[in-house]
Amino acid sequence: MGEKIIRINMTNLTTAIEAVPAEWAALGGRALTSTVVAKEVPPTCEPLGKYNKLVFSPGLLTATAAANSGRLSAGFKSPLTGGIKESNAGGTAAQKMERLGIKAVIIEGMPEKDTWYSIHIDKDGATIKEDVEYIGKGNYELYNIIGEKMGKVGVLSIGPAGEYKMAAANISVKDPDGNIRSHGRGGGGAVMGSKKIKYITVDDTGGPGITLADPEKFKTQARIFAKALLDHPVSGQGLPTYGTNVLINILNEAGGLPTKNFRFGTCDHAEKICGETMHDTIVARKGNPSHGCHAGCIIKCSQIYNDADGKYITSGFEYETVWGLGANSLIESLDDIAVCDRLMDDVGIDSIEGAVIMNVAMEAGILPWGDGKGTIKLIDEDIRKGTPLGRILGNGAGSVGRTYGLTRIPVVKNQGIPAYDPRSVKGIGITYATSTMGADHTSGYTIATNILKVGGYVDPLSKAGQVELSRNLQIATAAVDSTGLCIFVAFPALDIPECFTAIFEMINARYGCELDANGVVEFGKYVLKTEHEFNLAAGFSNKDDRLPEFFEEQIPPHNAVWDFSDAEIDEFWNF
Amino acid sequence: MGEKIIRINMTNLTTAIEAVPAEWAALGGRALTSTVVAKEVPPTCEPLGKYNKLVFSPGLLTATAAANSGRLSAGFKSPLTGGIKESNAGGTAAQKMERLGIKAVIIEGMPEKDTWYSIHIDKDGATIKEDVEYIGKGNYELYNIIGEKMGKVGVLSIGPAGEYKMAAANISVKDPDGNIRSHGRGGGGAVMGSKKIKYITVDDTGGPGITLADPEKFKTQARIFAKALLDHPVSGQGLPTYGTNVLINILNEAGGLPTKNFRFGTCDHAEKICGETMHDTIVARKGNPSHGCHAGCIIKCSQIYNDADGKYITSGFEYETVWGLGANSLIESLDDIAVCDRLMDDVGIDSIEGAVIMNVAMEAGILPWGDGKGTIKLIDEDIRKGTPLGRILGNGAGSVGRTYGLTRIPVVKNQGIPAYDPRSVKGIGITYATSTMGADHTSGYTIATNILKVGGYVDPLSKAGQVELSRNLQIATAAVDSTGLCIFVAFPALDIPECFTAIFEMINARYGCELDANGVVEFGKYVLKTEHEFNLAAGFSNKDDRLPEFFEEQIPPHNAVWDFSDAEIDEFWNF
């Protein structure tokens, strides 16, 4: 298929175009980044040292006409967790890479000289340029400058947080409107910063584009797939209308909305921060309540959130960010939270980790509970300038908690626990505990089945069935994360049989292969096991598959506790 | 023998006197603290949470006439390493506890109320008192106040660092002159702070004292033992004359004196900071070059170091502190280093970790290399006041390095690597890698055999024999740490057969038991295995028995590298 690997060596400052090894031919997205990391990165290496690698890979369906297929995976050994990491995002880089015939970009080594570089990727390969002009700049300003100079290229970049090699630093990616999406979790921005790369541009002009083994079959399956996305109530109505923030009221209702650093399962001011309020605010201010993060997205859960004067503040304003700052840190002003979201994108901090950072900072007494303006200042001054306090914060919720001698630190494998209480939604607790990624809701989103009743129903308050539910979803997610499809296609895929079939049939039509439902499961298992083996070789054990001690406390309103035994959790890996 | 356990519950604020369980009867010091921690502390618990315990235990020979037997062990799960920890110190508390018939003090639980307490231990047991008066005070001022109010009681305390629950916080103990010794390593001060105990006083008035099963035999063996200590050149001449700082010139000569954060094995200004210079300075300023840390010490490696005006600055001014600030941080003024040593004792920071903290801080650019006055300020202002920078520093060298995105971080199991380069003295590298304590020279001091040619000679630059050497010394040390004897008795014990025999014969004469040489080895193995099993249950694996990646670099003058394979290191635990 003429696909290639771009290998960029930052020690020698050389680049190479390599043929795709046969054993990687059937891989893409997370399956490929995790395979490359597992094969080429020594598991015990320093995450910010010369032996770590940063791997980008579009998914198997990226740049096709398949709806919602424009996600890019970034893989590396995480400076936050110490384990393997895959973090995927929309934006424009994935499709441009795929149209250039690039199966993966592998960045390795580390420069000896104390300077900065940028990388440009186009039809002729990759070039490295010493480039210190934009050091210190936030992502918004950087994207404006690059847009003016280079037009509609794809951009991957780090903000000041990545330059400081903060463990919560993300890798930003330009979206179709020139705004910011993020490979958020796990500190990929610090890895990119350690390799002294401020930004990467991707120009697909003159690229070979993609070819389909069976265009007719692809078209048919892509239609079935798109229809399912539009038909399903979650992907067709809830997410397009209210964005992911539709979940504030749903989780509040379920008693699973962690509030004041996981003390309560409901939040008194949910009405002020919920998706419905956000939607009405956006409409009143002439923003856009439904906006796609990449070309071909038909769910459009993103939005353009303006201030009271109708001026753009942020987009990709997600439930988890609103939860973490709104409920868990008790900030009542949605506008303050929106400014924080923008600033985290600009300085280049994962907005989930950033939200958990702030609730731990409030726990530590660094600022008062609910202090929106104080939170803005911490991001815009301390993290941006890399003050000592900013360094503590930028290194993640675990860093803040440990540095201040706390025990109420909501992290698993040192990654901040997101927006669903594991005591009152027990399936997600199994995902947090066992995921190879550290606490990560997206790696096995049991909220679908525990709360939204998608793919059946498993009582969130009972232990029964949660391990199996999380395992099945983690396996399926590992497969979906390899396709370039947005994880939200899982909602229709779980409920509409022909939607699930369409996914692997589109892959078959793209590559001329014969994947079936069983093959998808085996593929997902392969990805998880590859990642798990890397983590074990890096020094993890089953003792790392545990939630923090404080989850033994009851959480109202259900007075639920985390009551899985070690043996019950460890059952997860028996597959 | 009428011995007892004092149990102090800080949740309920109750104390109890318990009989010694039969299985603990033959244990003391490190053997007992590690046994209690392994039995009673859940290995995966939060080190600063309510399930951790803080255990004090005098050694098996403490308060006898055996020379150098006045050491106290403190045991806990370490907030620095996440593993088991034993840290022992001289001072006056051990002998007073033993004379009260106390085999161990076990402090458990955590108060719910946000206040502070002190504990008083006397012949009637222990009492807990709410006591906030001295919060924020340094150890020197605290000891003056307690001395004035209570006379010659033993004192264990924390400084501001322990109040902040910093992972490098030590537990201080009053020495016979009212100055400060430290249970330095592993963050015991943070554990004591988490239990909200500022200080513990011990009054042995009216205590039962100790009885000897065979007083005549004891007297004979104690004489043999004392003579050996005085006869051996290291314990009888080198240490009494120059203190531990005699090692600056010796290690510099051997090319094993880590300099500028482990870049070089020799230091150009060694002459300015060496033991010989220190000795002459002390004598010229009418200090005391040879001073014991506890009653009955005849090695007297401590000293009283005065300033140019003859005013006391510090005592217990050790080689590792002088190395870390002098060679590894390039501070050339011994007076500045002495002030740092005093301030670390006063704020309650382990002076070894503190020294490594400062060389990592210089690596991070927080202050310039060699900046003695800047180092003083960081300790006296930032750590003392708990500023954000002070919190980063106070949490250890690993905290500083990670927070600033470094890879050149000299820690093992997150504990700072002390004063002997593991590439040019390879035996100590095996000790750093494998010790249950994290990087800890005292746990298997191969410098004795690699450099001082005590107990034979193993070429420091060759891999041959190092694993066996470290293993034998770690086993022996675990036994010695259980006796209450100072580790420096190992020098004569390794070279003078009747000295080694005298140690177990004194134990036999004290308790009427029949320990022999083989029994000592089995005892040491029991201690190490108990600790190792705790660490494995806490989540450690053989991947934690590794040195940092940067030791692959050559170190001049020998251009030695760390070249042990994983399998060679892992051979350590085959016993």
- Which chain A residue shows the shortest CA-CA distance from B388? A389
pLDDT of residue B1: 45
Q: Does A544 touch chain B (CB under 8 A)?
A: yes
Record the tokens describing residue A230, joined without a space: 């539009």
Containing B198, the helix (H) or strand (E) segment is strand B197-202
Dump pLDDT digits (tens) for B528-547: 999 999 999 999 999 999 99
**Sign (positive or negative) of CA dihedral A168, A173, A175, A177:** positive
Q: Does A402 touch chain B (CB under 8 A)?
A: yes
Is the Cβ–Cβ distance between B194 and B89 less than 8 Å? no
Q: Smallest Cα–Cα separation from B320: which of B428, B228, B477, B408?
A: B428
Q: Smallest Cα–Cα separation from A189: which of A180, A179, A202, A199?
A: A199
pLDDT of residue B551: 98
Name all domains of chain B by residue range, CATH numbers in brackets.
4-202 (3.60.9.10), 215-242+422-575 (1.10.599.10), 251-421 (1.10.569.10)
- Measured between beta carbons, the chain B residues lying within 8 angstroms of A411 are none
Q: Smallest Cα–Cα separation from B34: which of B532, B444, B519?
A: B532
- DSSP 3-state of A72: strand
pLDDT of residue A357: 98
Question: What order do you get walking across the sheet with A302-306 strand by strand?
Answer: A288-291, A302-306, A312-315
C-alpha span between A547 and A457 (Å, rounded): 24
Please give the average per-residue pLDDT across B356-372, as a whole number: 98
Please give the average per-residue pLDDT across A312-327, as a whole number: 97
C-alpha span between A265 and A192 (Å, rounded): 37
pLDDT of residue A1: 45
Record the tokens describing residue A319, joined without a space: 């439930």
Number of A–B residue contacts, CB under 8 Å: 87
Is the Cβ–Cβ distance between A191 and A54 less than 8 Å? yes
Record the tokens describing residue A216, joined without a space: 């007719």
Record the tokens describing residue A550, joined without a space: 């404080």
- Measured between beta carbons, the chain A residues lying within 8 angstroms of B377 are none
- Confidence at B438, pLDDT banded by 50, 70, 90: very high
Strand partners, B183: B171
* Residues comprising chain A, all counted: 575
pLDDT of residue A149: 97
Angle, helices A275-284 vs A247-254, to 10°: value is 160
C-alpha span between A154 and A366 (Å, rounded): 38
Dump pLDDT digits (tens) for B47-89: 999 999 999 999 999 999 999 999 999 999 999 999 999 999 9
Radius of gyration of chain A (CA): 22
C-alpha span between B331 and B371 (Å, rounded): 6
Dump pLDDT digits (tens) for A83-102: 999 999 999 999 999 999 99
- DSSP 3-state of B568: helix
Q: A135 to each of A93, A158, A163, B527, how far by Cα in Å? A: 21, 10, 8, 53
**Residues A164, B395: C-beta atoms closer than 8 Å:** no
- Measured between beta carbons, the chain B residues lying within 8 angstroms of A404 are 164-165, 391
Please give the average per-residue pLDDT across B209-230, as a whole number: 97
**Residues A402, B395: C-beta atoms closer than 8 Å:** yes
Record the tokens describing residue A114, joined without a space: 């104390």
Radius of gyration of chain B (CA): 22
C-alpha span between A530 and A525 (Å, rounded): 8
Record the tokens describing residue B386, joined without a space: 């708990």
Residues contacting residue A69 through CB under 8 Å, at least 6 positions apart: A59, A61, A62, A63, A296, A483, A484, A485, A486
**Alpha helix stretches (DSSP H) within A384-496:** 384-385, 388-394, 397-403, 426-434, 447-450, 466-480, 490-495
Kindly report the nearest CA distance between residue A542 and chain B, in angstroms: 7
**Alpha helix stretches (DSSP H) within B258-409:** 270-273, 275-284, 319-322, 334-347, 351-363, 372-377, 384-385, 388-394, 397-403
* Residues comprising chain B, all counted: 575
Q: Is the pLDDT at B106 greater than 60, yes or no?
A: yes
Dump pLDDT digits (tens) for A200-242: 999 999 999 999 999 999 999 999 999 999 999 999 999 999 9
Dump pLDDT digits (tens) for A392-403: 999 999 999 999
User: How many other CB atoms sit within 10 Å of the CB of residue A308?
Assistant: 10
pLDDT of residue B2: 58
Q: Is the pLDDT at B357 greater than 80, yes or no?
A: yes
**Residues B392, A388: C-beta atoms closer than 8 Å:** yes
B365: left (phi > 0), else alpha (psi -120 to 50), else beta? left
Is the Cβ–Cβ distance between B257 and B419 less than 8 Å? yes
Please give the average per-residue pLDDT across B192-196, as a whole number: 98
pLDDT of residue B227: 98
Kindly report the nearest CA distance between residue A271 and chain B, in angstroms: 33
Residues contacting residue B115 through CB under 8 Å, at least 6 positions apart: B130, B132, B196
**Residues A407, B46: C-beta atoms closer than 8 Å:** yes
Please give the average per-residue pLDDT across B521-527, as a whole number: 98
Is the Cβ–Cβ distance between A161 and A144 less than 8 Å? no
Residues contacting residue A280 through CB under 8 Å, at least 6 positions apart: none
**Residues A48, B165: C-beta atoms closer than 8 Å:** no
Q: Which of B51, B194, B392 sits opposite A403 (nearest CB)?
A: B392
C-alpha span between B372 and B359 (Å, rounded): 11
**Sign (positive or negative) of CA dihedral A393, A395, A398, A403:** negative
Q: Is the pLDDT at A54 greater than 50, yes or no?
A: yes
Chain B (203-262) residues lying within 8 Å, Cβ to Cβ, of chain A: none
Kindly report the nearest CA distance between residue B563 and chain A, in angstroms: 16
Interface test with A, best of B78, B391, B535, B565 (most A CBs within 10 A): B391
Interface test with B, best of A52, A166, A377, A402 (most B CBs within 10 A): A402
Interface test with B, best of A407, A408, A413, A542 (most B CBs within 10 A): A407
Kindly report the nearest CA distance between residue B381 and chain A, in angstroms: 14
- Which chain B residue shows the shortest CA-CA distance from A535? B543
* CA angle (A524 as vertex; A523, A527 as ends), nearest 5: 90
Q: Does B399 touch chain A (CB under 8 A)?
A: yes
Is the Cβ–Cβ distance between B144 and B159 less than 8 Å? no
**Residues B392, A392: C-beta atoms closer than 8 Å:** yes
The mean of the pLDDT values for chain B is 97
Q: Does B195 touch chain A (CB under 8 A)?
A: no
B133: left (phi > 0), else alpha (psi -120 to 50), else beta? alpha
**Residues B539, A538: C-beta atoms closer than 8 Å:** no
CB crowding B153-188: b at 16 or more within 10 Å, else e: bbbbbbbbbbbbbbbbbbbbbbbbeebbbbbbbbbb
CB crowding A425-459: b at 16 or more within 10 Å, else e: bbbbbbbbbbbbbbbbbbbbbbbbbbbbebbeebe
User: How many other CB atoms sit within 10 Å of the CB of residue A571?
Assistant: 16
Amino acid code (one letter) for A420: Y
Strand partners, A6: A17, A105
Q: Which of B404, B539, B544 sits opposite A391 (nearest CB)?
A: B404
- Which chain B residue shows the shortest CA-CA distance from A44? B543
Q: Smallest Cα–Cα separation from B186: which of B407, B436, B380?
A: B436
**Residues A391, B406: C-beta atoms closer than 8 Å:** no
Q: Does B94 touch chain A (CB under 8 A)?
A: no
Kindly report the nearest CA distance between residue B472 and chain A, in angstroms: 26
Dump pLDDT digits (tens) for B290-332: 999 999 999 999 999 999 999 999 999 999 999 999 999 999 9
Q: Is the pLDDT at A29 greater than 50, yes or no?
A: yes
- Confidence at A2, pLDDT banded by 50, 70, 90: low
With tokens 């990624």, the residue in question is A437
